[in-house]
């Protein structure tokens, strides 16, 4: 009888996992029932009792998470299995709250972790088995709890645990490009999750769910508002709302930051100037900082976009970035705040190659920024393209903290309808070798500070989150939020590991699902490069909204906003010459790197047209002409999406219907759009190459004029 009941329960669980609707809201924290019986028995045996040490809000959150995760995964109610004096016990609490007998078992563990790190250790004491999850802070313990749950979610053994881990990067933030009217710049998953109108009194449960998801991957900061900033966020009316959010996030170890509009002293302060050297301006920001910190004692600091794309900045007053950043840094320094000053600058008054413009505005000033300033640099020198060579500023400012800015939202990668696994892109940049201190000076080492012994370190990701029920519009793209967090914690993790973890937590541990879908994820980034911008092409998206191809666009007022500026296709060839015969952007890299980029024999063909203008009949390494090779790449991208669809279609037995269909329908859109990209770009470039499409490339079914006529006045995110 008992056996039958058990079987029934088991079947019910399996049934629930697969058939019942799953809207994806729970992200990777699904806590699926562990259907491997012997593993489940092991887990149940290892954790018979939960023993929290300490009674902070954070420890309470950790307890709730363990109870939820264990109950769901092991099919037993864990809410009563707490504080018992028998059975194998899981203790969790920070160093200060552990008993001496327990600490004795841990030896020198605490020397191996930093403030936010954790340890998970097994030991036997007085005939009982213990697992202890600890850290120097309660937030460290929470991170450890999430890691422990991840072990179970991914069906790892938990005997003899001996794990220590710490984040390698200090500031791990999401940047929300969210406006106060709840539109999201470059957002493709609905409106902003910040409901400013109903704050501060109405605390949407989504706020704590957001914090919990972030904490589970180690994200410890959030910049709430758009870099194209509105000064109103700094008024008392809004600061009260910001304070309410900060109070929700605090126990999850998440600090709140705001963008600072440089002209705020004029706009909301009634001053006549925002000159960073004017005493009244200095004083205004100091008082503003004091006001913010009186409300939010652990406020993180400011993120600033200055003198970029029309945003005001110190240059409006003939001052430079150092003057601007240091003035704000001085205001927040007494409160331990920081300033993240963006290096995304280029000017319509500067005729030099846009890719070269940030470097001279910052690199010569190395050593002059105050020590609570980080320079936040996009991964590449142009703008979040499907592929860009790493930004030449990485490794070039040994005395200045350089913070990585990745874009998780897919402004240039097909919006949220294209299923692209971005950790592949992030990994490529982090592993790129700057050669600033000889071979092995990879970007990750500048970002984690190890290259030049930097104390302050950071990584930011422009969020892909909106108020869609599944947060990211496309279930698949939850992996990019997850992956960003994991890489901000450890920039040396591989995309493969991240994909594996995410799939197991989000869907199932069944290898028949994991293997093909992981492969599909890992190939997805190269697919988008192929069907949009192969061989080093870039920024040929339609302008403004950046939706779909627009290589023909040439009529915008600023030259560098036109795709023709970037591909430079003409009857002789295609590509942007950034070698010494052209813009010489390569001179901004270490000589070893510049030499490779300059030399056609050494450069990777993936970056070819980023750095070289080449004739249409240029011979690629495989013997094809450039034209044929390019056309075949476009086709390859389309074929890759087709095979992603074939893979996904076979996965129906492993996924609940709702998430299965969400991804399936979006893949079909992606396939259509990949063909659109291929056809539009090839027809356009063919006007110049005057060469036929090679065998193997499908003939376009529409004309170039048709593609040019397409208009999208209401494309999202613009």
Task: Give the Cα separation of 81 and 76 in Å (integer).
Answer: 10
Nearer to ligand BDP, 383 or 636 (CB): 383
At its nearest, how many Å lie between ligand BDP and the CB of residue 304? Answer: 11
Nearer to ligand BDP, 344 or 359 (CB): 344
CB 487 within 8 A of CB 426: yes
Name the residue number minimizing CB distance to ligand BDP: 383
CB 227 within 8 A of CB 303: yes
Provide the residue count of the chain: 718
At its nearest, how many Å lie between ligand BDP and the CB of residue 212? Answer: 28
Strands 118-125 and 128-135: antiparallel
Task: Give the Cα separation of 510 and 37 in Å (integer).
Answer: 14
- For residue 424, give the DSSP letter: H
User: Does 628 participate in catalysis according to the annotation?
Assistant: no
Nearer to ligand BDP, 214 or 409 (CB): 409
Nearer to ligand BDP, 214 or 410 (CB): 410
Task: Give the Cα separation of 549 and 541 in Å (integer).
Answer: 4
Among residues 327, 251, 250, which one has the least CA distance to residue 289? 327
Nearer to ligand BDP, 228 or 595 (CB): 228
DSSP per-residue string spanning 492-536: T--HHHHHHHHHHHHT---HHHHHHHHHHHHHHHHHHHHHHSGGG
Nearer to ligand BDP, 227 or 327 (CB): 227
Identify whether 200 is preceded by a cis peptide bond (ω within 30 of 0).
yes
At its nearest, how many Å lie between ligand BDP and the CB of residue 561? Answer: 10
Neighbours of 42 (CB within 10 A): 16
Among 72, 138, 383, 577, the one annotated catalytic: 383
Residue with tokens 């069944």: 510
- For residue 128, give the DSSP letter: E
At its nearest, how many Å lie between ligand BDP and the CB of residue 228? Answer: 5
Strand partners, 339: 302, 373
Residue 133: both structure tokens together: 């999850």
At its nearest, how many Å lie between ligand BDP and the CB of residue 311? Answer: 8
Among 95, 165, 361, 411, the one annotated catalytic: 411
At its nearest, how many Å lie between ligand BDP and the CB of residue 286? Answer: 27
CB 465 within 8 A of CB 193: yes
What is the Cβ-side half-sphere exposure of residue 512, based on CA atoms within 13 angstroms?
6
User: Does 411 participate in catalysis according to the annotation?
Assistant: yes
Residue 552: both structure tokens together: 């023909």
- Residues that bind ligand BDP in the complex, under the rule CB under 6 A: 185-186, 227-228, 305, 309, 344, 383-384, 411
User: Does 560 participate in catalysis according to the annotation?
Assistant: no
**Burial class of residue 624, CB neighbours in 10 A (0-12, 13-18, 19+):** middle
Nearer to ligand BDP, 410 or 434 (CB): 410
Angle at 94 between CA 88 and CA 99, to 5 degrees: 60
Nearer to ligand BDP, 283 or 718 (CB): 718
Residue with tokens 């992200």: 27
Coil/strand/helix, residue 9? helix
Among 42, 309, 350, 519, the one annotated catalytic: 309
Q: Which string of b and e fits 366-396 if b means at least 16 CB within 10 Å?
A: eebbbebbbbbbbbbbbbbbbbbbbbbbbbb
At its nearest, how many Å lie between ligand BDP and the CB of residue 462? Answer: 7
Neighbours of 580 (CB within 10 A): 12
At its nearest, how many Å lie between ligand BDP and the CB of residue 626? Answer: 28
Instruction: For CA atoms 415, 421, 423, 424, give the dihedral sign.
Output: negative
Nearer to ligand BDP, 269 or 461 (CB): 461
- For residue 615, give the DSSP letter: E
Distance linking the first and last C-alpha atoms of the chain: 62
At its nearest, how many Å lie between ligand BDP and the CB of residue 405? Answer: 8
Task: Give the Cα separation of 387 and 384 in Å (integer).
Answer: 8
At its nearest, how many Å lie between ligand BDP and the CB of residue 403? Answer: 14
Nearer to ligand BDP, 179 or 508 (CB): 179
- Active-site residue set: 309, 383, 411
């Amino acid at each position: 009888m008992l056996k039958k009941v058990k079987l029934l329960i088991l079947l019910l669980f399996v049934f629930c996992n697969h058939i019942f609707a799953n809207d994806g809201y729970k992200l990777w924290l699904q806590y699926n029932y562990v259907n491997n019986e012997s593993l489940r028995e092991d887990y149940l045996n290892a954790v018979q009792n939960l023993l929290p040490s300490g009674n902070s809000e954070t420890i309470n959150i950790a307890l709730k998470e363990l109870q939820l995760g264990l109950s769901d995964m092991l099919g037993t109610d864990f809410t009563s299995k707490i504080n018992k004096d028998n059975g194998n016990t899981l203790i969790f609490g920070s160093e200060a709250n552990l008993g001496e007998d327990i600490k004795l078992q841990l030896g020198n563990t605490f020397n191996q972790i930093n403030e936010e790190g954790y340890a998970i250790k097994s030991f036997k004491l007085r005939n009982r088995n213990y697992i202890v999850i600890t850290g120097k802070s309660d937030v460290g313990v929470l991170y450890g709890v999430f890691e422990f749950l991840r072990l179970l979610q991914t069906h790892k053994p938990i005997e003899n645990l001996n794990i220590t881990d710490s984040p390698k990067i200090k500031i791990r933030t999401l940047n929300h490009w969210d406006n106060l009217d709840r539109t999201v710049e470059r957002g493709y998953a609905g409106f902003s999750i910040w409901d400013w109108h109903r704050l501060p009194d109405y605390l949407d449960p989504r706020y704590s769910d957001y914090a919990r998801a972030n904490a589970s991957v180690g994200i410890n900061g959030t910049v709430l508002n758009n870099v194209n900033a509105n000064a109103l966020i700094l008024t008392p009316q809004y600061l009260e709302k910001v304070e309410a959010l900060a109070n929700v996030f605090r126990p999850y170890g998440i600090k709140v930051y705001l963008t600072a509009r440089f002209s705020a002293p004029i706009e909301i302060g009634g001053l006549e100037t925002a000159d960073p050297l004017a005493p009244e301006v200095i004083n205004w920001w100091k008082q503003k900082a004091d006001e913010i910190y009186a409300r939010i004692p652990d406020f993180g600091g400011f993120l600033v976009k200055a003198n970029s794309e029309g945003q005001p900045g110190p240059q409006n007053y003939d001052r430079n970035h150092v003057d601007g950043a240091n003035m704000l840094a001085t205001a927040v320094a007494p409160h331990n705040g920081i300033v993240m000053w963006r290096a995304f600058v280029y000017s319509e008054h500067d005729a030099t190659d846009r890719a070269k413009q940030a470097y001279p505005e910052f690199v010569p000033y190395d050593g002059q920024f105050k020590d609570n300033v980080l320079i936040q640099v996009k991964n590449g020198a142009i703008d979040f393209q499907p592929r860009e060579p790493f930004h030449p500023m990485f490794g070039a400012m040994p005395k200045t903290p350089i913070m990585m800015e990745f874009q998780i939202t897919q402004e240039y990668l097909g919006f949220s309808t294209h299923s692209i696994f971005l950790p592949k892109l992030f990994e490529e940049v982090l592993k790129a070798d700057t050669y600033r201190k000889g071979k092995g000076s990879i970007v990750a080492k500048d970002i984690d500070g190890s290259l030049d012994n930097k104390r302050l370190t950071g990584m930011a990701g422009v969020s892909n989150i909106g108020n869609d029920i599944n947060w990211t519009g496309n279930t698949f793209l939850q992996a990019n939020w997850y992956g960003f967090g994991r890489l901000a914690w450890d920039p040396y993790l591989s995309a493969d590991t991240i994909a594996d973890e995410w799939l197991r937590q989000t869907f199932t541990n069944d290898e028949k699902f994991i293997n093909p879908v992981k492969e599909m994820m890992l190939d997805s980034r190269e697919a988008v490069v192929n069907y949009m911008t192969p061989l080093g092409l870039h920024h040929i998206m339609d302008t403004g909204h950046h939706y779909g191809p627009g290589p023909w666009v040439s009529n915008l007022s600023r030259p560098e906003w036109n795709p023709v500026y970037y591909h430079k296709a003409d009857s002789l060839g295609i590509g942007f010459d950034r070698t010494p015969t052209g813009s010489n952007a390569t001179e901004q890299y270490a000589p070893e790197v510049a030499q490779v980029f300059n030399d056609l024999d050494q450069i990777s063909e993936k970056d070819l047209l980023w750095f070289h203008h080449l004739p249409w009949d240029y011979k690629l390494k495989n013997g094809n002409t450039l034209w044929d090779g390019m056309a075949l790449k476009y086709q390859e991208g389309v074929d890759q999406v087709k095979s992603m669809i074939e893979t996904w279609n076979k996965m129906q037995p492993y996924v609940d219907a709702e998430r299965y269909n969400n991804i399936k329908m979006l893949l079909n859109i992606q396939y259509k759009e990949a063909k659109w990209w291929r056809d539009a770009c090839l027809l356009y470039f063919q006007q110049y190459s005057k060469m036929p499409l090679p065998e193997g490339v499908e003939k376009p079914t529409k004309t170039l004029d048709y593609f040019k006529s397409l208009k999208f006045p209401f494309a999202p995110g613009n």
